[in-house]
Amino acid sequence: MCQGSCQGAANRPNMQPTYPQATAFPEFAALVNREKAQVDRRVFTDEAVYRAELQQIFARAWLFIAHESQVPNPGDFIRTTMGEDDVVVVRQRDKTINAFLNSCPHRGNRVCMVDAGSKARGFICNYHGWSFGIDGKLRGTDGKVYETDEAFEKSEIGLTPVARIASYKGLVFATFDPNAPDLTDYLGDFTFYLDIMLDNDEGGTEFIGGAIRSEIDCNWKLPAENFVGDILHAFWTHQSGAQAILGGGVDLGKRYDELAFQASVYGHGIETNLDKVGNTRTLGYPELVDYVFDLSERAVERLGELRARAIGAISSATVFPNFSFLPGQNTFRVWHPRGPNKIELVSWTIVNKNAPDHIKELYRKGVMMTFSPGGVFEMDDGENWEYSTRVNHGFVTRQQPLHYALGLGTEDKSRELPGHIHKGSLNDANQRLFYTRWSEFMEHDNWSDLQNGETASPKKTNIAAE
């Protein structure tokens, strides 16, 4: 190996990872009118806005990439995407998890062609046989032809790792921004609500094997905003599914006025009715309802009474930008952007690790029956989001305002809960804050502004439920 004296050494490529820099797009930030609770439709169809999203949001935000249970042993891996970037998530020999861009630094081909695998020793590019360890480092090239070139420096070459990777209670997140704040700072007080799903019992959670992947011709923000706070659509969109499973319409519980609320932190949001088992009931298996009632009683000690009521309640949540879940129904999903007009939806079923096997099996079937492409609820969502996207190709149509103004003036400062709290789950508040967060990402080129804007959690002196 040449130490720098050979003829070619001076022209050796610089193979250091390159992470993109954010900038500012004030004209796009202004597409969200915070004063008037309006969103400009160009956010759903404009190519330039979409390219800015990849740079400002998907190359910077902490994105969900895996559940730890998907890669239990060294060499276990899954392939996913962060924005449109193909990524391999691999358990390392020291049991940590790392993630790399799925692209060979030689000619760029994918080094991993499969969805998942176990106990891999590495990844070999099919093109020229460049071989990488599970640590991402280049181990060798086919026939050692490169190795015989005296200017070649193998140790400088590897798969590009994500800039930062971290876990929160079993969920693995990564970011391409070396300057991103810690994951727990990015999630902020929203961890209080994540724990409803992730920490309601000893032993934590796991994903059931496999994943359902499907394509929807819609902008990624429409499903994300739907899960962040739109229980309203359930009454109309899902009347048929509710009728089929429950024999009646959606019911938010007798104590709606007193209990239901929306909470938002940094654009992450949850709406819940605290009705205990409303979501779980829609899976159609009474054994699951009994399980959640018992769980909820046990969980009072871990989570306090309020969050214990939320475990199976009618509720939904999104972690900004594109990771959503339904407490009680246990579907977890990512809306991967594929251009402004298309997403790939990947969805999983999450269960408590120590739940009995027959309960896990019923969750698997219940999620399939409700929130999968053939499920009686998800069935009716896709077309709404597709046409909410597609009609905006009309030149005049896309100049018309959109109304996000349900629940103006419903902010509730009396409840000692983390985040921006609004009364009632039937409210556009979380969706407004989701787009405000979107606007902050467009506006700011630095995390200091990003973490201290309007969407940051209001300062509260006493969080009683903690």
Partner 1 sequence: MSDVLDITSTFDDLSRPTDAETERAVARFLHAEARILDREAYQEWLEEFIDEDIHYWMPDMETRNRSDPRGTFRYGDTAYFDDRISELRVRIARYNEPSAWADNPATRHMHQISNIEVFETDDPKLVAACSVFTNVRNRNETDQDVVYGRREDVLRRHGNGFRLCRRRIFIVQNVLLSKNLNTFL
Which one-letter DSSP state was computed for residue 55? I
**DSSP conformation letters of 109-151:** --S--SSEESS--EEE-TTT--EEETTSBEEE-GGGTGGGSTT
Alpha-carbon distance 157 to 152, whole Å? Answer: 10
- Closest CB to partner 1 among residues 243, 452: 243
Out of 8, 108, 209, 286, which residue is the one contacting partner 1 (CB under 8 A)? 209
Q: From the CB of residue 27, how many other CB atoms can be counted at a distance below 10 Å?
A: 12
The pattern of x and - marking residues 3 through 42 that bind partner 1 according to CB under 8 A reads ----------------------------------------
Alpha-carbon distance 182 to 164, whole Å? Answer: 9
**Rounded (10°) CA dihedral 129, 134, 137, 138:** -10
Out of 243, 399, 446, 452, which residue is the one contacting partner 1 (CB under 8 A)? 243
Q: 255, 425 in Cβ contact below 8 A?
A: no
Q: Which of residues 392-421 bind partner 1 (CB under 8 A)?
A: none
Question: Which residue of the set 67, 76, 189, 238 is catalytic?
Answer: 238
β-partners of residue 289 are: none
Out of 73, 236, 446, 448, which residue is the one contacting partner 1 (CB under 8 A)? 236
Alpha-carbon distance 122 to 147, whole Å? Answer: 19
Q: What is the smallest separation between the CB atom of 15 and partner 1, expressed in angstroms?
A: 27
Out of 6, 166, 379, 391, which residue is the one contacting partner 1 (CB under 8 A)? 379
Q: 75, 90 in Cβ contact below 8 A?
A: yes
Residue 365 binds partner 1, judged by CB under 8 A: yes
Q: What is the smallest separation between the CB atom of 365 and partner 1, expressed in angstroms?
A: 6
β-partners of residue 78 are: 89, 116
Residue 73 binds partner 1, judged by CB under 8 A: no
Alpha-carbon distance 265 to 233, whole Å? Answer: 22
Residue 339 binds partner 1, judged by CB under 8 A: no
Interface with partner 1 by CB under 8 A: which range of 9-17, 88-96, 183-191, 360-368? 360-368
Out of 280, 329, 349, 392, which residue is the one contacting partner 1 (CB under 8 A)? 349
Question: Which residue of the set 381, 420, 422, 444 is catalytic?
Answer: 381
Alpha-carbon distance 250 to 458, whole Å? Answer: 32
Q: Which of residues 82-121 bind partner 1 (CB under 8 A)?
A: 113-118
Q: What is the smallest separation between the CB atom of 112 and partner 1, expressed in angstroms?
A: 9
The counts of H helices and E strands in the chain are: 15, 22
Based on the residue annotation, tell me whether 233 is a catalytic residue of this protein: yes
Residue 284 binds partner 1, judged by CB under 8 A: yes
Residue 382 binds partner 1, judged by CB under 8 A: yes
Interface with partner 1 by CB under 8 A: which range of 42-50, 378-386, 400-408, 419-427? 378-386
Out of 241, 269, 337, 340, which residue is the one contacting partner 1 (CB under 8 A)? 241
Q: What is the smallest separation between the CB atom of 140 and partner 1, expressed in angstroms?
A: 20
Residue 364 binds partner 1, judged by CB under 8 A: yes
- Classify 67 as helix, strand or coil: strand
Interface with partner 1 by CB under 8 A: which range of 12-20, 36-44, 377-385, 438-446? 377-385
Q: What is the smallest separation between the CB atom of 405 and partner 1, expressed in angstroms?
A: 24
User: How many CA atoms are closer than 13 Å to the CA of 279, on its beta-carbon side?
Assistant: 27
Q: Record the tokens describing residue 194, joined without a space.
A: 């994540």
Closest CA to 406 of 436, 440, 431: 431
* C-beta contacts of 413-417 below 8 A and 24+ residues apart: 413/458, 415/261, 416/460, 416/462, 416/463, 416/464, 416/465, 417/192, 417/261, 417/263, 417/306, 417/463, 417/465
Q: Record the tokens describing residue 193, joined without a space.
A: 């609500």
Q: What is the smallest separation between the CB atom of 322 and partner 1, expressed in angstroms?
A: 16
Out of 210, 356, 401, 458, which residue is the one contacting partner 1 (CB under 8 A)? 210
Q: What is the smallest separation between the CB atom of 462 and partner 1, expressed in angstroms?
A: 43
Amino acid at 188: G
Q: 434, 264 in Cβ contact below 8 A?
A: yes
Q: Which of the residues are catalytic?
A: 128, 230, 233, 238, 381
By CB under 8 A, name the binding residues for partner 1: 113-118, 208-217, 236-237, 239-241, 243-245, 284, 344, 348-349, 361, 364-365, 368-369, 372-374, 376, 378-380, 382-384, 386
